[in-house]
Chain A
Amino acid sequence: MGPATGEEAPESGAGAARVIRLHHGTDLGSANDIDANGLDAARAAAFNGGGEFWATVDVAVADMFAQVNPASGIPARLDFDLPVTVLAALLTVNPPRAYQHGADVYEFLPTAFATLNAHMTNRQVLAPVP
């Protein structure tokens, strides 16, 4: 079994401007809502009990989650850049506001949403995804 592959390098840029490209698989309505309004804890909780927001550096994984979205809507992917310094801060603050699962998946707790909304850039909604 080989390493995770994506359509692009997960991290790019130099120095303080380095960003990581993250992908969230969902339905088109939810992707557009996050794109337009940002992350919202109450709306996230409507999708899963804990209200977390999950994203991955692996495009193929995000696409699979999009296909099995709980709304059974048009599968869509929200792509965005996040500064690596911001991600590191969310992971290391005490208590953590985010967790890394394995090498390629990030779980963001609702306490991270305000920071994410302030720092997510280059948002792009793609639908339908394969």
Chain B
Amino acid sequence: MRHDPLFTSWLVKCSSAEESQRLQQLLRAAIHADAAYVDIVRPSPKGTESSATIAHRLGDYFSDICLLPGGPAGSLTFRIVYSRRADAGRFWKDLMVRTVQEIRKSSPGATTTLEYWGDEEPETLGAIG
């Protein structure tokens, strides 16, 4: 079994400082511990009669998801850092990817770059700790 790291950091670059602020506001409302992603599972490609709905609460997978500055005040960039719970189920990665995907969808001009992926707490977290 492969080991999944505890910390993942994505650098988000927006087209303007205003867009960066708007996106961070959206994310703050979406990444709290009680937020849930609802996975609709269907064994049939078009059918809904036997669909199963499974709610995945972010707090069950992550001890923290935080937004950090990517540069000086007014910068176009910010970071989103995921701290995975050690006992998180395998769906944690799906939740993270869904969040990053939402960033790209809600702000098509934004770019998301995987910046860090490891077990050591990123320096960007330590700096504000």
A residues apposed to B, CB below 8 Å: 1-2, 46-50, 58, 60-61, 64-65, 67-68, 70-72, 87-88, 91-92, 96, 98-102, 105
Where chain B touches its partner, the secondary structure class is mixed
Q: How far is the CA of A91 from the CA of B40 in the complex (A)?
A: 14
Contacting pair A48 B43 (CB below 8 A): no
Q: Does B34 touch A at the CB level, under 8 Å?
A: no
Contacting pair A88 B93 (CB below 8 A): no
Contact among B3, B40, B41, B100 with A64 in the assembled complex (CB-CB below 8 Å): B100
21 A-B residue pairs with Cβ-Cβ distance under 8 Å, sorted by A, are A1-B105, A47-B1, A47-B2, A48-B1, A48-B2, A64-B100, A65-B93, A65-B97, A67-B114, A67-B117, A68-B114, A71-B2, A72-B117, A91-B42, A92-B43, A92-B44, A92-B45, A99-B43, A100-B42, A101-B39, A102-B40
Contacting pair A68 B90 (CB below 8 A): no
Q: How far is the CA of A49 from the CA of B94 in the complex (A)?
A: 15
B residues apposed to A, CB below 8 Å: 1-4, 8, 39-45, 90, 93-94, 96-97, 100-102, 104-106, 114, 117
A-side contacts of B106, CB under 8 Å:
1
Name the CB-closest residue of B to A104.
B101
